[in-house]
Amino acid sequence: MTVLSIIDAVEDPKLFQPWFSGATWNGWKAILKAIHALPMTEQERAQFRAVTDRGPPARPPHECWIVAGRRAGKDSVASVIAAQAAAFFDPKGKLRGGERAVVMCLAVDRPQAKIVLNYIRSYFTDIPYLAQMVRRETADGLELSNSVDIVVATNSYRTIRGRSVLCVIFDEVSVWRSESGAAPDVETYHAILPGMATLPGSMLIGISSPYKKSGLLYDKWREHYGREGDILVIRAPSMVLNPTLDQRIIDDAMERDPAVARAEWMAEWREDLAQFLDRQVVEAAVDVGVVVRPPISGVKYHPFADPSGGAGDSFTLGVAHCEKSDGGEVAVLDCLIEKRAPFNPDAATAEMAATLRSYGLGH
């Protein structure tokens, strides 16, 4: 089996080149080269540094997070990443007998998933080399002859367990939501990592416009943007990745609502969507490295809890006390426990009760 790099595939007239022709895709091609640790020209290195504040990685990163503005071509790029990873995977020596690898694209909702799925299906319909690989079309993807399944679906950590993941794309991850009130981006992220552990070179790509300063995408950007390492973060305004956009549309949006426009077109985090407490205020009050403070004899502790039945939301418990300071009294959080759903309510309650007793509470 001939294995082509993603750039060779994107620039091949018999493969993806008809969908990605012209110089307007050069910014994305520089990013794709960096994601796959392919050689870059000096101009491409400069383009890459402009959206990362770092040099290209020496080897393909295990995770890549792309924060990009609206109409920048995110769905098109997500679809070609998925299609190339699936079509040019060689299963020899990587899968057990009967095992199938999966390339997943998880979207914010069904309409968004349908857009990406239609892009991918067009490749495997219109490109003869890829069309011959299709063994079966399913409701949410394709089954290929090289033991790879392509699955495009909405985000759900329950549906991804037990699969050997070759590549997963979190599409518009900053606005994922859940009917249960849980954090679907974080839950899905933790659920997908074990499935990536057994396939060498597996990759996770999060690609989204930014939203408020919270959630998985924001955390990845805050912790890794501009830093060398195995997690690559990219942030680019719409016009940088799609110079064909009409600047007047962006200018009009900036006049109507600057806060929204800066997020949608300039790829900047929303400043007008603060939580109950601003994140920076909370972080300033955190004693870094302290996970729990053990009980101290003679201290009066105060408990608080947010119970759950165990099906959807977490069960949380906190223990705190007050201390004297130069400015008056200071509240100190000593212990915080979260029991994530699903869980047994009786067992969780017994665990919380034992914690309370250790602080002299609940006798």
Do 249 and 340 fall within a single domain?
A: no
8 A C-beta contact, residue 78 and residue 221: no
CATH number of the domain encompassing residue 187: 3.40.50.300
Asked whether residue 280 is assigned to any structural domain, the reply reads no
| Alpha-carbon span 163 to 176, nearest angstrom | 22
Do 97 and 162 fall within a single domain?
A: yes
- pLDDT for 179 beyond 80: no
| Alpha-carbon span 250 to 255, nearest angstrom | 9
The Cα angle at residue 148 between residues 12 and 151, in degrees rounded to 5: 95
Do 193 and 322 fall within a single domain?
A: no
Do 27 and 113 fall within a single domain?
A: yes
- pLDDT for 158 beyond 70: no
Residue 66's pLDDT is 96
| Alpha-carbon span 183 to 338, nearest angstrom | 13
- pLDDT for 194 beyond 60: yes
pLDDT 10s digits, 264-311: 999 999 876 555 555 666 677 788 778 899 999 889 999 999 988 877
Percent share of the chain, pLDDT over 70: 93
| Counted domains in the chain | 2
Do 253 and 296 fall within a single domain?
A: no
Asked whether residue 276 is assigned to any structural domain, the reply reads no
- pLDDT for 187 beyond 90: no
Asked whether residue 342 is assigned to any structural domain, the reply reads yes
76-90, 146-160, 206-220 — which is least confidently predicted? 146-160
Taking residues 349-361, report their average pLDDT: 91
**Nearest alpha-carbon partner for 205 in 61, 351, 46, 350:** 61
**Cβ count within 10 A of residue 342:** 12
| Alpha-carbon span 315 to 345, nearest angstrom | 9
Residues in CB range of 342: below 8 A, 6 or more apart: 310, 311
37-41, 181-185, 188-192, 337-341 — which is least confidently predicted? 181-185
Residue 313's pLDDT is 76
Do 260 and 340 fall within a single domain?
A: no
| Alpha-carbon span 240 to 238, nearest angstrom | 6
Amino acid letter at 54?
Answer: R
**Nearest alpha-carbon partner for 221 in 67, 40, 70:** 67
Residue 236's pLDDT is 95
8 A C-beta contact, residue 299 and residue 321: yes
Chain centre to alpha carbon of residue 138: 25
